[in-house]
Amino acid sequence: MKFTKSLFSVALIALLSIGMAQAGEVLDSIMAKKKIMVATDANWPPQSFINDKNEMDGFDVDVAREIAKRLGVSIEFITPSWDIITAGNWNRRWDLHVGSMTPTKKRAEMLAFPAVYYYTPAAVAVHKNSNTLRIQDLSGKKVGTGTGTTFELYLQGDLSIDAVGAPKFKYQISKPEIKSYETSTIALDDLRLGDGVRLDGVVSSLPVFLEAIENGYPIKVLGQPIFYEPLSVTIDLGDPALNSSLKGIITDMRNDGTLSKISKKWYGVDYATTR
């Protein structure tokens, strides 16, 4: 079938109109309902967890609440599993994910990353009674981590952090026996049983280890951070209006010091700046 030039133009305008109508659909819905649905983790302290009052709390939770405040809407948290979140195609089950996700090219095939809001060091922990002195000494040993995470990809030797501001890194653990858990916090529960009982080490974020140590876990951090992650708020593909709005909000939160303030509240240091 052949289109005349005018007919083609009409068809093109119609297609563009449809795209534009869909472009702000999620943001329009948020503003119409005056509520934003935010996905995060219920068991990932100090980023996000359920506190003693049975309320969501933590660094990511505070960031999400500030985003909602600046949008002028209320907030509701839901806690789907990590693999469901990273799979994309959310079908409006939630509007936004604030859960410390590293933006990568592979994930960008399914998700959009409006803005990086902080940078965190990935580290290695062992039991406090472990004789392991170097990160390299965990090569070939049982190492636990969260499934579907950048930490798991690191252990698999398949990690690609291609986001702006991510320093280069080297693999230091060769051919470990990887034990994947729903979260690395659960992996720490196995590590605390004793050196080599179920695990010889765990790879996760440094803040998670420091929180665990403060809560009495018999672990210690080994060596220096193995890589640094830029971490972004995340949305489903297809809404550039929401993308743009969130990018502006995060930029403002960084410029006015809000992100640094929230970071210092939960971590004691400023992770909101580039390492």
pLDDT digits (tens, 9 = 90+) for 227-242: 988 999 999 999 999 9
* Amino acid letter for position 229: E
Give the residue, 11 or 152, on which the prediction is more confident.
152
What does DSSP say about strands 111-127 and 74-78: parallel, antiparallel, or unpaired? unpaired
Q: How far is CA 208 from CA 11, 101, 110, 202, 258, in A?
A: 53, 15, 27, 11, 22
pLDDT digit string, tens, across residues 34-91: 999 999 999 999 999 999 999 999 999 999 999 999 999 999 999 999 999 999 999 9
Q: Closest Cα to residue 88, out of 115, 122, 55, 113?
A: 113
**Residue 92 burial by CB count (10 A; 0-12/13-18/19+): exposed, middle or buried?**
exposed
Q: Is residue 241 part of a domain?
A: yes
Closest CA to 267 of 84, 3, 99, 47: 47
Distinct helix (H) and strand (E) counts, the chain: 9, 11
The total number of structural domains that make up the chain: 2
Instruction: Indicate whether 75 belongs to any domain.
Output: yes
Q: Which residues contact 84 (CB under 8 A, 6 or more apart)?
A: none
pLDDT at 189 (0 to 100): 97
Question: Residue type at 161?
Answer: I
Mark whether 163 and 112 lie in a shared domain.
no
Report the alpha-carbon distance of residue 232 to residue 210 in Å, rounded. 22
Q: Same domain, yes or no, for 202 and 251?
A: no
Stretch 155-169: mean pLDDT, rounded?
82
Q: Is the pLDDT of residue 16 over 60?
A: no
74 in the same domain as 34? yes
Identify the weakest region by mean pLDDT among 1-5, 72-76, 159-163, 185-189. Answer: 1-5
Q: Kindly tell me the burial class for residue 256, based on how many C-beta atoms sit within 10 Å of its own C-beta (0-12, 13-18, 19 or more).
A: exposed
What domain range is 195 assigned to?
A: 120-229
User: How many Å apart are CA 45 and CA 31, to the nearest integer?
Assistant: 30
At 111, is the secondary structure helix, strand, or coil?
Answer: strand
Q: Are residues 236 and 106 in the same domain?
A: yes
* Mean pLDDT along residues 91-100: 96
Token representation of residue 90: 């959310």
Pick from 5-19, 71-85, 153-167, 232-246: least confident = 5-19
**Average per-residue pLDDT for the chain:** 90
Structure confidence at residue 23 (pLDDT): 56
Query: Do both 189 and 255 map to the same domain?
Result: no
Question: Quick check: 7 pLDDT over 50?
Answer: no
Residue 274 confidence (pLDDT) above 70? no
Within-domain flag for 273: no
Assigned domain for 114 exists:
yes
Q: What percent of the chain has pLDDT over 90?
A: 80
Q: What is the pLDDT of residue 104?
A: 83
Q: Is residue 105 a contact partner of residue 162, using CB atoms and an 8 Å limit?
A: yes
What average pLDDT score do residues 143-165 get?
Answer: 89
Q: For residues 77 and 216, is the Cβ–Cβ distance under 8 A?
A: no
Are 17 and 31 found together in one domain? Answer: yes
CB count, 10 Å around CB of 111?
22
Phi, psi of 195 (to 5 degrees): -65, 115
Give the pLDDT score at 11: 44
Residues 85 and 95 both lie in one domain:
yes
Q: Is the per-residue pLDDT at 162 higher than 90?
A: no
> CATH no. for residue 185?
3.40.190.10
Q: Answer yes or no: is pLDDT of 32 > 60.
A: yes
Q: For the chain, report the end-to-end CA distance as a whole number of angstroms.
A: 56
Pick the range with the lowest mean pLDDT from 1-5, 90-94, 181-185. 1-5
